Structure 1
Amino acid sequence: MLANKDPLFLTGVTFPSEYPASPETLVKLTVYDAKDKSQESSSFLGSATFAVGDLLRAKDERLTLSLRSSDGVCAAGTVVVSRLKMGEMEEVDLDHITTELPSHKCPLVCESASHSCIDRDNNPLTGPVFKNPICKVYRFQTVDSKWMLVREQMEECTLSFSIPKQLLSLYIQEDMSRVRHLRELGELSPHWDNLRKEVMTRYGGIIGSYQETLAELDKITGRSFKPSCCKAQKSLEFIPINLHTQRMRVTCPRKTDAFYDIVTVGAPAAHFQGFKCGGLQRLLSRYESEKKSFGKRRWQVDTAKTSRSCLNKHMRSFCPAFFSTAYQCIYYSPEHTAKAQEVLSTVSLLQPLISILADQLLQAAQEHSSSGLREALKNLSDKTEQFVHTLKDELVNSALLALHAARPGYVSKNQKQTPVQGGQHQGHIHQGSDQNQSPVQGLPGHSPATSITDSPAGCNNVEASQTTTRGEGGTLKHQDSIPHHKEYDEEEWDRVWANVAKCLNCVIAMVDKLQEEDGSRQEPAPEQQLADVITSHHPGEWREQLRPHVTRLKECVMEVVEKAKRAMTFVLLQEAACSIPQGFLLQQRRDVVFSQALAALACGFVMRLYAGMQDQGFLKQLHLVGLVAQFESLLSTYSEEIGMLEDMEVGVSDLQRVLFQITEAKTDDLSDLQPLVCGRRDHFFVEVPLPRLVFQTLPEEIRGGQPLRVFPVLFNVGINEQQTIAERFGDISLQERINQRNFEMLEAYYKSLSEKVPLECLPCYQTQTDIKELLETLGQNVVTKKRKNVEILWIAGTICRRLNGIRLTSCKSAKDRTSMSVTLEQCALLRDEHQLSKDFFIRALDCMRSRLTQGDVGHWEDPEACAGTENKPASRHFYPIALLLVSSHLLVVWLILSLVFLLAKYQ
């Protein structure tokens, strides 16, 4: 207690499972007088001891104890101990509570208002994900002099380690696949072979580093979070800092229980790599601008149409690593390399899907199901058409030509050709997008009898290749620096991918033929004729007739995939060689930051899903639009925290590549209920398995495997003393740009939500301010020049809760600033939604920010407290946010005095 002769200590006490309690258990209360909190000095006043059984048997469940001095003689006052019934225990008799007290565990707080007690660790939903709960119980007075019961519950999340470990495995698989594709390019000229070896060596280094990190993570057992004191440890750089979930449950008289969830986590950032040169946003911007600058110079050289010798001179200066007398450098812009990644990703996804759909077509033929046959054919046609159109991109064709030019012996062949004169080209560039209609003429809507070769073809038209240009988003411009020679058969690629369309036409024609024959057999006929038809019919006849055409289709698809992979791999080889070593370092940094951000998002998504299982409006919103995930950041725009914020901005933005999918667990075993991650860097799926009985209650769209989107937004307002310096002497444009950009994204999400989901699906709050008005107010605050405008965070958080969203709060280490923000938000919710008395607001805030004791429970606000600090006195309070918003003049005085003190100390 501090400066109060009649203090009211409102924090509850629970008995953890590792310290069992019984009616005979003795509890000792010790009271200290806090002299100076800043110096953590206090004096002993007195102590009292009581038995749990005495409290349970007390008439009004309240004991009045006398505090005794250390010698046990003098009385220092009295203390009143009350037993509070939690909401879920109100319907349980006293004997049951007494017997269950020794094994008391914090129950699940997201159950319905029936107050049924659920063992959290054994609950099939939460057991695999949330562990080690710590609870605090309060009782506060409302404006009508009633008492509300408030329980805070903080837990660790097993996804802190499981998600990064799965991502590391996927990164390793992806990079090993790239190395394998580079090997499969075949024989290359010495110049290109050396570049390939260098790139493969870089990938090998990344793979080895990731494998070493994964092995270190596999050795870690016990805790499910990374403490802030380990934030710069290399083996833990993929793990988010202090990832915890916090739930506040409020039980009020004559009202149903309410709960409020929030995820706290340290800002996703690459602490091990440091922030000397800035964070990801700045590093990536600088990296891309350098590449674009090189590309601009390269295009200018091509446009000038200089002589061959002059061109070679320019290429030596612009791209010495790529210059070769055999083959000049081709610059691929970031758009081209992104397109190459997209083509690789698309064909890798579509090829196995087409194979599966082809097998489903054969299965429908085996079953003689006309409707099934039509449905399977439609799906197969759609995916094959998408596959063919993906490969029509001119980038694939030009990359195949470039790859052919990089083969050994190309120089001698090229030297025999006549020089290029007057803009005439000896080679031919196929411009499929300008001269052909859809390659799949026999797809639904076309006659299956129409051959693809009937379409106009201008594949080897020299004049067409000369006049082709590259528009916005169109095909590549013809480059004089790309060598062409008669030995390269440019029609080969056209024939290969056109064969896919031809094979599909054959499949469609055969299906139509089978259905026509089946229809003619069902026409009225004499009984004898019908019997002859039946006896001559064999169950596998359709399948056997379709099998050759389907097999040929799958073979053609595989052949196209192999060629396309080689071509796109060659594009990425050039990009990777140009970006050595900076590009690889940036990719590693991005992997680290994304891993931390995804673990936090997955934790929030699972927590929100579990809480909304019975809310049909929420589930409807989930599959129709998706959820908004609001990251609240308290980082300053000063010193190293600028780099952290730049890392976090990119990490949160990269979460747009993530989709969630709810699946049915194979078994009800807890190990089968862990979320799983699959995919590659440009797109990831997070599968959230649910027990069969729970899964069956979900809407059909979700049970059907529909991907569920999450819209991440980030709002940042620095609140510490470093932000004061940044606002007065530094630059806060980064914070302003982040808030403005993410406000626009939040506004777009609400517009989409209001068009597809009725407002009745959204939760109801006591504060009935319209969401549109809140958005308008947020927009005004975002553009307003105001120091430490915490209104941005308040309004954004309110909008997120009103939209059924996921709330995540972070600062550097998810400790002091995060704790202050969360506790202030909780008290504001109690005041606005549950009529907390004004007289109790500050008292409730201080109570939530106080620590219980030293030891395990005392780690509530500082879960990363290391073993070496366990015996140090615990700080009693976290100071309110208002104290951080000090006058700038006082801050300057404080800085000067601190500097004088340090100089005197070290002299």
Structure 2
Amino acid sequence: MATIETELTDQAERATPGVGVMLMPQMPHLEFSIACRGLVSALRDGKPNAVVQVAVLDVREQSLLAFSCTEIVQGTRDPLFLTGVTFPPDCPVFEEMVVKLSVYDVKDKSSETSTFLGCTTFSLADLLKSKDQQLSLSLRSSDDLATVGTVVVSRLKMGEIEDGEADHITADVKGQKCTLVCESLDGTTNDKDNGPLMNAVFKNSVYKVYRFQTVDSKWMLVREQMAECTLSFSIPKQLISLYIEEDSSRIQELRDLGELSPHWDNLRREVITRYDQVIRNYRETLSKMEKLTGPLFKPSCSKAQKSLEFIPINLHTQRMRVTCPRQTDAFYDVITVGAPAAHFHGFKSGGLQRLLSRYENEKKSCSTAYQCIYYGPEQTAKAREVLSSVAQLQPLITSLSDRLLQAAQQHSAEGLRDGLKALADKTEQFVHALKDELVKGALLALHTARPGYVSRSQTQTHSPSHLVQPGLDAVVCNNVDRAPTPTKDERSPSGNHKDPIPHHKEYDEEEWDRVWANVAKSLNSVIAMVDKLQEQDNNKQDSVPEQALADVITSHNPAGDWREQLSPLLASLRESVVEVAGRAQRSMTFVLLQEAVCSIPQGLSLQQRRDVVFSQALAALACGFVMRLYAGLEDKGFLRQLHLVGVVAQFESLLSTYSEEIGMLEDMETGISDLSRVTFRITEAKSDEPGDLQPIVSGRRDHYTVEVPLPRQAFEALPEEIQEGKPLQVYPVLFNVGINEQQTIAERFGDISLQERINQRNFDVLDGYYKSLSDKVPSECLPCFQMQTDIKELLETLGQNVVTKKRKNVEILWLAGTICRRLNGIRFTSCKSAKDRTSMSVTLEQCALLRDEHQLNKDYFIRALDCMRRYVHSHLMPFASPFLIFFPFSHLHFNTRSFHCPPFIVRLVINADQVLSSMSDSGSVLMGLILKCNAEMGPWNITDIFYRHCNCYPSLDFF
């Protein structure tokens, strides 16, 4: 069966240069615009509120599928629709495919009533083969007896206005003319967003296309593309596997502590039991996730479902592509995702930030009760860091030793030199990681927990003050005389009670220093031997004639000599490293055992909550990083910035500081902050298959690395530093401004200190990133924008705003978003579920970009905003689309200088006046009406409306 795709592809190849074909091939879109002329309607003086429903008839399947819908153009017989129709690249386009256009007259948007005016059909072959690729079709009434107007269908292509060729069609504003220039022109529009690389990670794309007029009467073509991301599920599943692996390793480390006193052995068993329970829960969750099929995102209705708690809510990519005459296409990306939060665990007691603070205070008291040393968050983090360093560096030192021996056997001076450099570097890192008083003190604490320690020293009554580490509140006891864990009453301190920790003269405090120093001594011996061997080799080369050099080397320096001399020294080094690593590992494991013991009431539950929130945050970050990387593969300035400094990831949050959303914001704050422990690394993919292009996560809770595979051709074009595996840093920042009626309540009667603290703290991070960027990267590497305001000036303004007491200070969000784009950053927008508030923010930002960067005609700003936010009647459009959203609130929240109020809100206030005139309890009726309709009342402060109609503010009882 013949298809139109061949013709479209041929046109695309003629019009497109062959640059970056492998990464973002120029795949064509079939797109067309719609306009009507001379519509006939019996209502409103014959001027209908027109909307066109587009359906596709598949002749082969004999089925009619609702495809898309235009916006509503009010009060004109000649509507020009800004919303076009697009057939995406993955949609098969056949000659036999027929498009049906049905025109309706919408009587009332709020009541969803409309009248059918007429319909017409055409085939895609007719459109492409017609003169100028434009069709003028007659609209036929339902009885097919009368013509009720004309529909003009034009293939969308960019072009210039030429004298005498401009067509004018009346817009929805009375008397206003729009210059139509998207017709009768050669060429094609091409899509650069759907190559194999993009399609490997981003799936199930939804497209929308618009045409808006610029200030110079040209037409810009705007495409929206929203896609799901495979990382929504793959990243959480990998993280859960890593959680299981880490906790299993922790159990083994606890068992490897060796024999402990009955008191500590009982506590160890209890901790292991709780770790086992966590592992079972994680395995059960992972098993359920492996069985999931369907969409690649978690809908908001499933946000509290336990089996999906690690999955981010509504994670989608949003890309707006703008094509203007005589200009290069521009791309604007944003990731939309529900705020990372543990909805299954609830927010009755707050979120992570509050719970962790409370937990640290409770841990101090528990440490005394369980006779443990209290280790603060910094010390436990250091213990995990030491364990991670030991686990990474010990096997690396062993492998580097073997490599050095191999170079010695091959008598390779260069290999010997390079191998020694790598070995010395990693050994020095190993020694430095263990050079900490925490390790030394923990070894002492572990010694006191061994069986029989107290019985051998119980007659001594020396003061134990020297056992307490600086800043620690308690000391360790093995409790040998009372094996069971003490009860609450037994834990009470008594004035006559002997100190539980006796003097420990049996313990040699200098032993650790000697063992630790042996590593450095062994390394110095290896270095000295290598220097000696190289010096001898150089001397012999100087004294022997060149032609006899090979014979001399063979006869007097057998290959085994170097290896034999180095082998015992390297064996000594390995033995020292193994001994030190074992002691350090046991001591740090004992630190974490004491932390786990002190956190018996809620510690692991908090860790699970933190795991859940971090999983959601990392999935979103990985999605944003991959999208930003793919878009910047040919941008040398961005790649230079990426490996020299890193990239900023700016999270915009619209959560209120009221009720449960406070807990969500506290969860989100901790989750975003934890992302600073993540680095990225670019690797070469094994193949171009989608499965080999999926990012891979590795590491432990203290640090994770996300490896992003690229096809060989793309990988080889990267800077050398990135190809060598240099870790790429990400700087996550979070700015929050509550946007809903609950935030109004919080600002008038509640507390917004959490929001203020978050904004101030993250401003410092953003400011520090910019200073580092300015020192290392020239300004030429940053993108160019029409808005010429200096980034430093924008930062100063942002700094002033975050300390200014102002209600719903949305300037913070505007400035942070602008700075992020100017810094080549990654943009995220979040609210509770990434639906209403998020959609309003994204669409407003897109229209503002069109206005500021692409000269969108000011008369089209509101129309463009309405197109992107349009509401579709269920009987006109029986399928859901994430782009079709009715006003949950107006853009007034973001731009207080423009008091745009949707008409239905005006009607609501008028109707409220009518209700008040006939009801005695006017305040209650109005407040009930307003609260019931709060989703549509965004531009208006509900307490102000109450005051406007009742001459008083509502009491707290109303809330």
Q: Judge same fold: TM > 0.5, yes or no.
A: yes
For residues 645 and 471 of structure 2, the distance between their equivalents in structure 1, rounded to whole angstroms, comes to 31
1:318-717 equivalence runs, <5 A: 319-320=368-369, 322-323=370-371, 329-415=372-458, 417-420=459-462, 482-525=501-544, 531-717=551-737
Deviations 1:736-788 (A, max 9, x none): 11111111111111111111111011111111111111111111221222211
Alpha-carbon distance change, 789 to 76 in structure 1, aligned in 2, over 3 angstroms: farther
Amino acid at match of 2:460: T
For residues 134 and 145 of structure 1, the distance between their equivalents in structure 2, rounded to whole angstroms, comes to 29
For residues 770 and 15 of structure 1, the distance between their equivalents in structure 2, rounded to whole angstroms, comes to 41
Which secondary structure state, in structure 1, belongs to the residue aligned with residue 198 of structure 2? coil
Amino acid at match of 2:522: C
For residues 790 and 121 of structure 2, the distance between their equivalents in structure 1, rounded to whole angstroms, comes to 53
Alpha-carbon distance change, 380 to 656 in structure 1, aligned in 2, over 3 angstroms: same
Q: CA deviation at 1:495?
A: 3.5
Query: In the alignment, does 2:245 pair up with 1:224?
Result: no
Which secondary structure state, in structure 1, belongs to the residue aligned with residue 827 of structure 2? strand
Q: CA deviation at 1:565?
A: 1.1
Amino acid at match of 1:56: L
Counterpart for residue 305 of structure 1: none
Counterpart for residue 815 of structure 2: 795
Amino acid at match of 2:220: M
Query: In the alignment, does 2:855 pair up with 1:835?
Result: yes
For residues 408 and 645 of structure 1, the distance between their equivalents in structure 2, rounded to whole angstroms, comes to 47
For residues 120 and 762 of structure 1, the distance between their equivalents in structure 2, rounded to whole angstroms, comes to 22
Query: In the alignment, does 2:775 pair up with 1:755?
Result: yes
Alpha-carbon distance change, 776 to 611 in structure 1, aligned in 2, over 3 angstroms: same
Deviations 1:106-159 (A, max 9, x none): xxxxxxxx99957866x3421221111111111111111111111111111101
Worse-matched range after superposition: 395-404 or 487-496 = 487-496
Q: CA deviation at 1:334?
A: 3.2
Amino acid at match of 1:880: S
Alpha-carbon distance change, 389 to 25 in structure 1, aligned in 2, over 3 angstroms: closer
Amino acid at match of 2:452: G
Which secondary structure state, in structure 2, belongs to the residue aligned with residue 523 of structure 1? helix
Which secondary structure state, in structure 2, belongs to the residue aligned with residue 66 of structure 1? strand
Q: CA deviation at 1:726?
A: 1.1
Q: Are the equivalent residues in 1 in contact too, given 2:441–2:469 (CA < 8 A)?
A: no
Q: Are the equivalent residues in 2 in contact too, given 1:11–1:138 (CA < 8 A)?
A: yes
Alpha-carbon distance change, 668 to 59 in structure 1, aligned in 2, over 3 angstroms: closer
Pick one of 211, 222, 235 that aligns with 2:307.
Answer: 235
Amino acid at match of 1:190: P
Deviations 1:348-372 (A, max 9, x none): 2221222232223223323333233
Which secondary structure state, in structure 2, belongs to the residue aligned with residue 573 of structure 1? helix
Q: CA deviation at 1:176?
A: 0.4
* TM-score computed with the length of structure 1 as normaliser: 0.82
Worse-matched range after superposition: 354-363 or 238-247 = 354-363
Counterpart for residue 919 of structure 2: none
For residues 728 and 782 of structure 2, the distance between their equivalents in structure 1, rounded to whole angstroms, comes to 18
Alpha-carbon distance change, 42 to 288 in structure 1, aligned in 2, over 3 angstroms: farther
Amino acid at match of 1:618: F
Counterpart for residue 267 of structure 2: 195
Query: In the alignment, does 2:794 pair up with 1:746?
Result: no
For residues 470 and 231 of structure 1, the distance between their equivalents in structure 2, rounded to whole angstroms, comes to 45
Identity of aligned residues (%): 69
Amino acid at match of 2:941: S
Q: CA deviation at 1:333?
A: 3.3
Pick one of 781, 792, 795 that aligns with 2:801.
Answer: 781
Amino acid at match of 1:762: L
Deviations 1:790-829 (A, max 9, x none): 1111111111111100011111111111111111111111
Amino acid at match of 1:264: T
Counterpart for residue 153 of structure 1: 225
Name structure 2 gaps, 5 residues minimum.
1-71, 160-186, 478-497, 893-900, 902-937
Query: In the alignment, does 2:852 pair up with 1:859?
Result: no
Q: Are the equivalent residues in 1 in contact too, given 2:360–2:376 (CA < 8 A)?
A: no
Counterpart for residue 116 of structure 2: 44
For residues 212 and 521 of structure 1, the distance between their equivalents in structure 2, rounded to whole angstroms, comes to 67
Alpha-carbon distance change, 21 to 483 in structure 1, aligned in 2, over 3 angstroms: same
Name structure 1 gaps, 5 residues minimum.
88-113, 296-317, 324-328, 426-464, 863-873
Query: In the alignment, does 2:220 pair up with 1:142?
Result: no
Q: CA deviation at 1:852?
A: 6.7
Query: In the alignment, does 2:123 pair up with 1:60?
Result: no
Which secondary structure state, in structure 2, belongs to the residue aligned with residue 213 of structure 1? helix
Count of residue pairs brought into register by the alignment: 788
Amino acid at match of 1:221: T
Counterpart for residue 834 of structure 2: 814
For residues 528 and 331 of structure 1, the distance between their equivalents in structure 2, rounded to whole angstroms, comes to 70
Alpha carbon RMSD of aligned pairs, Å? Answer: 3.1
Amino acid at match of 2:604: F
Amino acid at match of 2:368: C
Deviations 1:229-277 (A, max 9, x none): 1111111110111111111111111111111111111111111111111
Amino acid at match of 1:242: N
Amino acid at match of 1:375: D
Alpha-carbon distance change, 188 to 230 in structure 1, aligned in 2, over 3 angstroms: same
Alpha-carbon distance change, 614 to 289 in structure 1, aligned in 2, over 3 angstroms: same
Higher relative contact order (CA 8 A, sep 6+): 1
Q: Are the equivalent residues in 2 in contact too, given 1:154–1:246 (CA < 8 A)?
A: yes
For residues 253 and 510 of structure 1, the distance between their equivalents in structure 2, rounded to whole angstroms, comes to 70
Counterpart for residue 75 of structure 2: 4
Q: CA deviation at 1:228?
A: 0.9
Q: CA deviation at 1:471?
A: 6.8
For residues 771 and 134 of structure 1, the distance between their equivalents in structure 2, rounded to whole angstroms, comes to 34
For residues 847 and 529 of structure 1, the distance between their equivalents in structure 2, rounded to whole angstroms, comes to 83
Q: CA deviation at 1:548?
A: 2.2
Q: Are the equivalent residues in 2 in contact too, given 1:152–1:247 (CA < 8 A)?
A: yes
Counterpart for residue 447 of structure 1: none
Q: CA deviation at 1:878?
A: 6.0
Amino acid at match of 1:251: T
Which secondary structure state, in structure 1, belongs to the residue aligned with residue 207 of structure 2? strand
For residues 180 and 68 of structure 1, the distance between their equivalents in structure 2, rounded to whole angstroms, comes to 78
For residues 4 and 844 of structure 1, the distance between their equivalents in structure 2, rounded to whole angstroms, comes to 18
For residues 404 and 57 of structure 1, the distance between their equivalents in structure 2, rounded to whole angstroms, comes to 88
Q: Are the equivalent residues in 2 in contact too, given 1:630–1:712 (CA < 8 A)?
A: yes
Deviations 1:421-471 (A, max 9, x none): xx5x7xxxxxxxxxxxxxxxxxxxxxxxxxxxxxxxxxxxxxxx97x9977
Q: Are the equivalent residues in 2 in contact too, given 1:2–1:33 (CA < 8 A)?
A: no
For residues 390 and 799 of structure 1, the distance between their equivalents in structure 2, rounded to whole angstroms, comes to 37
For residues 895 and 409 of structure 1, the distance between their equivalents in structure 2, rounded to whole angstroms, comes to 81
Q: Are the equivalent residues in 2 in contact too, given 1:850–1:878 (CA < 8 A)?
A: no
Q: Are the equivalent residues in 1 in contact too, given 2:651–2:827 (CA < 8 A)?
A: yes
Q: Are the equivalent residues in 1 in contact too, given 2:253–2:586 (CA < 8 A)?
A: yes
Counterpart for residue 104 of structure 1: none
Q: CA deviation at 1:570?
A: 1.1
Alpha-carbon distance change, 131 to 601 in structure 1, aligned in 2, over 3 angstroms: same
Q: CA deviation at 1:221?
A: 2.2
Q: Are the equivalent residues in 2 in contact too, given 1:251–1:258 (CA < 8 A)?
A: yes
Query: In the alignment, does 2:354 pair up with 1:282?
Result: yes
Q: CA deviation at 1:618?
A: 0.7
Counterpart for residue 890 of structure 2: 880
Q: CA deviation at 1:532?
A: 4.5
Alpha-carbon distance change, 33 to 683 in structure 1, aligned in 2, over 3 angstroms: same
* TM-score computed with the length of structure 2 as normaliser: 0.77
Amino acid at match of 1:194: N
